[in-house]
Amino acid sequence: MAVRLYHHVVDTHDLPALASFWCAVLDWRILFEDKDEIVIGADEFAMPGMCFVPVEEPKTVKNRLHIDLAPDDQTTEVERIIGLGARRVDVGQGDVNWVVLADPEGNEFCVLSPKRSLVD
């Protein structure tokens, strides 16, 4: 393969807080941290990871790219993630079998029904 997904970069106002939120959601850990970036992942060789970088401007519109999570139990995971600081959001999804949440800084992501493959 000539290229692979390395990490998702997330703009944020509070790097430690948002990195900690996503570590808790994904059961990952902080792999690298300084004032200009925090990288999290399952381990340093498990790609992709997530990289949090500071920005000044606030989030103003729906994400153009978002994360989909595929849990074993959708209801249990939605409640757990809400308990970590996420909130339900309506982005016009209508009546669907996934749940749209936003992380503490408003970045939308979806919690899907259980999946067995990328085309399930």
Q: How many domains does the chain have?
A: 2
- The residue type found at 31 is L
**Per-residue pLDDT at 63:** 82
Q: Which domain holds residue 33?
A: 1-55
Strand-pair partners of 110: 68, 100
Q: 0.85 cut: is pTM over it?
A: yes
**Per-residue pLDDT at 87:** 97
Q: Are 48 and 69 found together in one domain?
A: no
pLDDT averaged per 10 residues in sequence order, the chain, 120 residues: 89 96 98 97 95 91 89 97 97 90 95 90
- The residue type found at 27 is D
Per-residue pLDDT reduced to its tens digit, 47-81: 999 999 999 988 888 888 899 999 999 999 999 99
The reply to whether 60 falls in a domain is no
Q: Report the candidate in 111, 110, 113 with the shortest Cα–Cα distance to residue 63.
A: 110
* CATH number of the domain enclosing 89: 3.10.180.10
Q: Are 71 and 50 found together in one domain?
A: no
Q: In Å, what is the CA distance from 86 to each residue of 43, 93, 103, 104, 116?
A: 24, 17, 5, 6, 25
